[in-house]
Amino acid sequence: MKLDNKTLVYIYIVVLFILTYLFASRLITSLKTQEFDYLRLSVNLGLLIYIIIKVVKLGKIENDKTDKL
């Protein structure tokens, strides 16, 4: 089963929301306790950046399809 780009964008946006929430909660907890888990925060931030780039690319593809119609 192949998913179209619009469905993939929505899935990535849901994952982006979840990762953003986890990153913010870990960062706030780290600020309160002054114990930073740099590896976990950096991996989470890397995943956020990757998914943002994927959403932008897929959004451009979908917008180009819509403009051609």
Q: What pLDDT tens digit does each residue of the chain (69 aa) get?
A: 788 888 999 999 999 999 999 999 999 999 999 998 999 999 999 999 999 999 999 999 888 887 666
Phi-psi region of 34 (alpha: psi -120 to 50; beta: other; left: phi over 0): left
Entry pTM: 0.82
Q: Are 55 and 9 in contact (CB under 8 A)?
A: yes
Q: Give the CA dihedral 59, 64, 67, 69, nearest 10 degrees.
A: -110
- What pLDDT, on a 0 to 100 scale, did the predictor assign at position 18? 96
- What pLDDT, on a 0 to 100 scale, did the predictor assign at position 69? 62
- What pLDDT, on a 0 to 100 scale, did the predictor assign at position 40? 93
- What pLDDT, on a 0 to 100 scale, did the predictor assign at position 5? 85
Taking CA atoms, 69 is separated from 7, 16, 65, 66, in Å, by: 19, 29, 7, 6
